[in-house]
Amino acid sequence: MIPSIGPDTLLMFAVGGVLIYLAVAKEYEPTLLLPIGFGVLLGNLPNSPMNQPEGLLFILIEFGIDTELFPLFIFIGIGAMMDFRPLLSQPIFAILGAAGQLGIFATLILATMIGFPLNEAASIAVIGAIDGPTSIYVSSLLAPELLPAIAVTAYSYMSLVPIIQPPLMRLFTTRAERRIRMEYAPRPVPRGAVIAFPIVVTVVVGMLVPASAPLIATLMFGSLLKESGVVPQLANTASNELANLSTIFLGLTVGSLMQADTFLQTQTLYILGLGLFAFVLDTVAGLLFGKVLAIVTRGKVNPLVGAAGISAFPMSGRLVQRVAQEEDFTNHVLMHAMGANTAGQLGSVIAGGVLLTLVTMLG
């Protein structure tokens, strides 16, 4: 007998279909939205054994979401793909990575004013980092009931970075500022410094913000695998097989949690709006701090680089280069933007740890 399907279930099928369409037809973050969209379909199948105890999705959720393993596995892969040399050769861009997190804390205040409890407000605010694994990690610990809405919002805005950020870059910078040329003549970074960096960061951040230790440790471990140069097979596995498998399973499980009875709520609209507010404010804060650096350095810093202070790596850094070249095709600011972008990745992880600590202390 075919089970009856209510309007709410049909609506969730439509949501899953839209996500799949955006992934396939528009190529908006297909590696993320395609598994999530298909997971939505699986999670809303009536009487499906996959969603029952001992079922495939149930086991994956217990193994990778409840334990936070999937986001941490992805961070190992991200670390193995990142190059911190642009940041190490120009440490000043750490300021832009910090500025790119200000929207998170402003959104935390706004969400609590609207009426969200502190744990839920913190989970929503971290969407502004535009870092899906961090958003999932924090919300799974603080507000698991909001995890589906927060995850799909974070990944949706990741896919919309090329649409949302460029207009903000043009709005908050002048044509003359966008044409500022930044010669890339970085100081050589010794191999020992590149290898020591992930070790030092793990110890220092892990001691100062213990709640961020799992995130920072896995990110830095991936970096150490890559930069050590002695285990290329492990670095390749981390950046390819481990990252890809974890992304598939994370997408399917997060999508399956988007079920009609929990997702179709008014608070989902609030999460979408607050997440966008945090994203926009993070970008604007980075641009404004970039303008300050341009003044302090007497025109040696292109303010566009500040927009890369969010952690949408490497997409945001590449967008900065594209917008700069719209004004001057010979202007190359990519490596500077990547310095800010890697700083933003570190900043988002630390911000997530700060939020976890804050909720633990005040909760």
pLDDT band (50, 70, 90) for residue 7: confident
Determine the average pLDDT of the residues in 215-224: 96
pTM for the predicted model, two decimal places = 0.89
CA angle at 324 for the pair 33 and 127, rounded to the nearest 5°: 35
pLDDT exceeding 90 applies to what percent of the chain?
63
Amino acid 1: pLDDT:
52
Maximum Cα interatomic distance, the chain, rounded to a whole number of Å: 74
Give pLDDT tens digits for 167-196: 999 999 999 999 999 876 667 889 999 999
* 212 close to 349: Cβ distance less than 8 angstroms: yes
Give the single-character DSSP code of 297.
T
* 307 close to 165: Cβ distance less than 8 angstroms: yes
Token digits of residue 86: 């642009």
Determine the average pLDDT of the residues in 11-21: 92
Determine the average pLDDT of the residues in 70-76: 94
Instruction: Calculate the average pLDDT of the chain.
Output: 90
pLDDT band (50, 70, 90) for residue 67: confident
Amino acid 182: pLDDT:
87
* Among 23, 45, 2, CA closest to 251: 23
Q: Which of 42-51, 71-80, 134-143, 221-230 has the lowest mean pLDDT?
A: 42-51
Specify the amino acid at residue 235: A
* 308 close to 337: Cβ distance less than 8 angstroms: yes
Amino acid 50: pLDDT:
86
Residues 159-179 as b/e (b if ≥16 CB within 10 A, e otherwise) read bbbeeebbebbeebbeeebbe
Cβ-based neighbours of 98, under 8 Å, separated by 6 or more: 309, 343, 347
Q: Is the peptide bond before 314 cis (omega within 30 degrees of 0)?
A: yes
Query: Within 13 Å, how many C-alpha atoms sit on residue 195's CB side?
Result: 7
Amino acid 185: pLDDT:
60
